[in-house]
Chains A and B, each alone.
Chain A
Amino acid sequence: MAYIDIKGLSYSYPDERDRALKDVSLEIEKGEIFLLMGDSGSGKSTLLKCISGAIPYFYGGTLWGKIEIQGKAVENMTHQERSGTIGMIFQDPERQLLMNKVHREIAFGLENIGVEEKNIKRRVWEALQFSNIQDIALQDINTLSGGQKQRVAITSAVAGLPQCILLDEPTSQLDPSSAEEVVELIKKINDELGITIVVVEQRVDRWFQICDRIGIMKDGMLLFVGTREELYLSDDEYLRGFLPTRLKLAKALGIEKMPLTIRETRRALGRFEFRLKEDKHKGSSKCILSIKNLYCGYGNEEILRGINLLVNEGDFIGIFGPNGAGKSTLLKSIMGLLKYSGSIRIMDKEVKNLGVRDIALISGYVSQNPNDYISKDTVYDELKFTLDNYGIKDDGVIDITLKDLNIYELRHKNPRDISGGERQRVAIASILVLRPKLLLLDEPTRGLDFEAKRKLGRVLKSLNKNGTTIILITHDVDFASEFCDRFGIIFNGEIVSIGTREEVLSESIYYTTEINKLLRDKNKRIFSLEQALSSVRR
C-alpha cells in the first residue's frame, strides 16, 4: 500500500466553473522524494494543498475522489492529526512565519498540535541543531535573510516530526546559494529522518539530483509519473522540456544512458568536440549612462562603495550578485530614488539635478513585483494611466508598446486575471509606454516558469535590438547568458567584474551557466544549450 494514495482527484475552487485538478491519481511511497513539475497554473500547488487538507477545509470548493495517507482518508483525520502528520512549506518565507523570535516560531506548531509540554523545549532545540541554525535561535525573524527564514520554516516543520513534508516552490524567492542550502537541508531530512518529501519547483536542476520520482502536470492533469531515467528516456518533447539543461544536452547528443551527476555528464561528453564561430558583440560607443565613484546607502548603512560603470547605447547588461550586495540599490540610485555621492549621468544629465518624473522619461525602472504595477481594470488603462500622469495624449503609443511586448491581445483583459509572465510584461509596458532610452529591470524572471521566461527574454531582446538599452538584475544566469551581451558581478557594494560573456562568465567560479561549467575545458565560449548543439562535432 502506498504511503500517499490519491485516486481520481478532481477539484474546483469556490465560484470557479473550471476544474483546477482533473482526475489525478498518484501513489507516493514512504520515504520518497517526489518532485512535482509543470507550467504555471497546471495544478501543482493545488494538489499539494489537497494533500495537506488546506483544500477543501481552508479554501472551500468542491473536491471529488479521495486521498489516503497511510491508509487513512484525509477527510477522516482531525485538523490536529493532519497538522501533526503533514508539514507544509510555502513559497514566500515572509508570509508563513508567525512569531517574532526564531525559537518561538519553531515552538508555535508544536503548541498547536498539542505536543506534551515536557517535550516541546527538547524538540525545539534539537530541531534547531539538526538544521544547524542554533546561532540564530534567539534572533528576531525580521532580521534574517530570505534563505534563513526559509530554513526556519523548514525547521519548524521538522520539529513536529511529521511523516511527510510538502514544499511549494521553497526556493523560488531565494538566491542560488540560499536555494542550495535549502535543498541540502531537505535531503538531510529525508536521509536521516526518513520523512517523505513532495516538492513543487520551477528551478529543477538541484531537485532533480536528489529526487526519486517525478510527476509532471499540465492543465490540471498528471501527464507523467516516473523515475528520472524514465523521464530522460521519454521521447515526448513537452516532457523533455523539464529535464535539467545538462540532460537536455546529453539527450540531444544521443547519449543513451542518463548521466546521473554533472561529473558523469562531463565524462559522457568527452567524445564530442565543440567549435564555435567567433561572435563579437558590436556595441555602440555612445555612452548613455556614466556612473563615477558612486556611494549610496540607507541611513548610516553604506551599500554601494565607489561604483564606476559606463553603459553604451544598445547594451543589454545582466548584473549578478548575492542578496544584499547592492544590486537593487544601484538601480534605485540611477532612478534618483536614493541620495548618493559621486556622479550618475544619464544622457549627459546629472541624476541628482533632475526630478524623478524627468528621469522616468529617459530611464524606466521595473521593480521585482509586477503586482506593484496593477492598479487599473484593463491592461490598456494601466498603460494609459502612466501616459495621463505625464499629460501625454498620444494613445497610439499604447498599441505600439503592447504589440512590442506581445500582449496586444490582452489589452481589454483585467491584469489581475492574466498569468505571472504576462503580468510581468504588463508591468514593463506600463513603464515602456514613456519610450525611455534606458530600461532597468529588477529580477524580472522571479517566479516565472521556463516558457514565460523564454517569451520575456525574446521580447526584451527585440526591444534591445530596436534601440532600448537594458540593465537587468537577476539570479538566473542561464537567462542572462542567453539574452544579455554584457555582464557585471557585484559583491559588497562593488562591481568586481564587468565585461563580455567570455570575460565575465568564462572566468567565473559561481556565476556561470551549467553548460559552461560542463564544457569550459573544451570550449569556454559556450554558455547555452543552443550554442552547444550548434557547435558540436562528434
Chain B
Amino acid sequence: MKRNYNIFHVLTLAFTSIILMIIIFSCESPLILTGIFIYFLVVFITCGHSKDIKDGFKYFAPFFAVTLIINMIFVTDGTIMLFKAFGKDFTLESLIVSFMLSFKLLLIMYLFMMMGIMIDSDRAVSFFSSKMPKSTLMMMVTFKLFPSMKNRLVTLKQIYSIRGVDFEGKGMRERIKAFIPILSILLESSLDGAFDIGEAAYVKGFLSGKRTVYDRQTFGRKDYIVTLYAFLLIVVYLFFRISGSLNFDIYIGIDVSKFINLGAITVFIMLLMLAALILILTEENEDGLHRY
C-alpha cells in the first residue's frame, strides 16, 4: 500500500526538508549522510517512487566521475597512495572526498525529489499565497514554465537539426554555439510565457486583496510531533557539531573514531527514528483511514 505523505501540513514538510538540507550542506560525517540517505530510501520506497532512486544514481554517476577526476588531479594530500602517474600521487583520501562530495549532491537531488513527492504543490501555493503572495507567484511561474520549456527544447532541437544545426559537433565550443539560436528562442518564449501566466493570475484576482482558503489544513498532532522531533534533531546535531565531535577531515588521517563516534551515532539513530516516526504517523487502518 502506497503511503500518502500529503496528510502532513505543508509547513511541517517544509521545515523538515530545510533541516535535512542544513545537515546535508554542513555535515561531512559519512554515517550521518548515510542516515539521511536511508531516510530518503524509506520515503521513496513507501510511496511507490522507487524509480526515483535509480534516476538519482543516473545523475550521480557522471558527477562522481568528473569530481573524482578533478579532485584526484588537483589534490595530492592524503597518506594512503593508490597509484602514481604523471609524477602525481593519487590517494585513497582524495577518492573518498570525491565520493562524499558527489554523494552530498545526490542527497540534495533526492531531497528536492522527495519534496516534490511529499508536498502537494497546490496546497503549498494556496498556503503560501496568503503569507507571501509575490514570492509564491514567482515560484508558480517558474514551476509552470520549466516542464513546458523542457518539451519545447526537444521540439526546437528537432527543428534546428532539420535546419542543419549540428548539436553533436566535434568540440565543446561548437556544441555550445549550436545551442545559441534555440536558447534565444527559449528565452523569448519563456518571457512571453511568464507574462501570460502573470496576466492570467492577475485577471483571476491574484494579489487583489485578502485571500480565503479552499482546503484549509490544520496543524495537527502529527505535525507537532514531527516538527518538534525535527527541531530536536537539529539541536542535537548542532550541539555535536559545535562541540567538534562531527568535525571530519579525512586528509588528516583515516581514523574510525572520527566518523563513528557518539555524536555521529546519535544523529544517525535520530534520522532512522525520524523515518520510523513518519511511517508510524502515516500508517493506515484496514479501512484506509489514517489514525491521525
Contact = CB atoms under 8 A, between A and B. Distances in A.
Interface of A: 52-54, 57-58, 78-80, 82-84, 86-88, 90, 92, 94-101, 104, 107-117, 120-121, 124, 142, 156, 332, 335, 337, 356-357, 359-360, 364-365, 367, 369, 371-376, 385-386, 388-390, 430-431
Given A58-B203, A98-B204, 10 more contacts: A79-B202, A84-B205, A98-B140, A109-B204, A111-B212, A112-B208, A357-B161, A371-B188, A374-B185, A389-B165
Nearest to B122: A104
Nearest to B198: A58
A114 B156 contact: no
B189 to A, nearest CB: 7
Given A96-B196, A111-B126, A111-B212, A83 B162 contact: no
A82 B166 CA distance: 51
Interface of B: 121-123, 125-126, 129, 140, 144, 147-148, 155-156, 158-159, 161-166, 181-182, 184-185, 188-189, 193, 196-216
Contacts of B201: 98
Given A113-B205, A115-B212, A100 B196 contact: no
B205 A375 contact: no
Given A110-B214, A386-B164, A83 B193 contact: no
B182 A58 contact: no
Contact of A335 (B162, B164, B193, B215): B162
A80 to B, nearest CB: 4
Contacts of A100: 121-122
B212 A120 contact: yes
B184 A83 contact: no
Given A78-B209, A99-B125, A58 B199 contact: yes
A161 to B, nearest CB: 13
Contacts of B182: 375
9 contacts: A83-B208, A92-B196, A98-B204, A113-B208, A117-B214, A332-B158, A356-B161, A356-B162, A372-B185
Contacts of A371: 185, 188-189
Contacts of B215: 104, 107, 121
A114 B209 contact: yes
Contacts of B203: 52-54, 58, 83, 86-88
A389 B121 CA distance: 43
Contacts of A373: 159, 163
Nearest to B158: A337
Given A83-B205, A372-B185, A431 B122 contact: no
Given A58-B199, A80-B209, A337-B158, A156 B164 contact: no
Contacts of B188: 371
A389 B163 contact: yes
Nearest to A52: B203
A97 B147 CA distance: 14
A112 B196 contact: no
A109 B204 CA distance: 5
A80 B162 contact: no
B199 A116 contact: no
A53 B200 CA distance: 12
Nearest to B154: A337
A101 B123 CA distance: 10
Contacts of B209: 78-80, 114
Contacts of B144: 98
A115 to B, nearest CB: 6
B163 A430 contact: yes
Nearest to B141: A98
A375 B179 CA distance: 11
B185 A121 contact: no
A97 B122 CA distance: 12
A279 to B, nearest CB: 35
Contact of A79 (B156, B164, B193, B205): B205
B164 A108 contact: no
Nearest to B145: A95
B163 A54 contact: no
Contacts of B123: 104
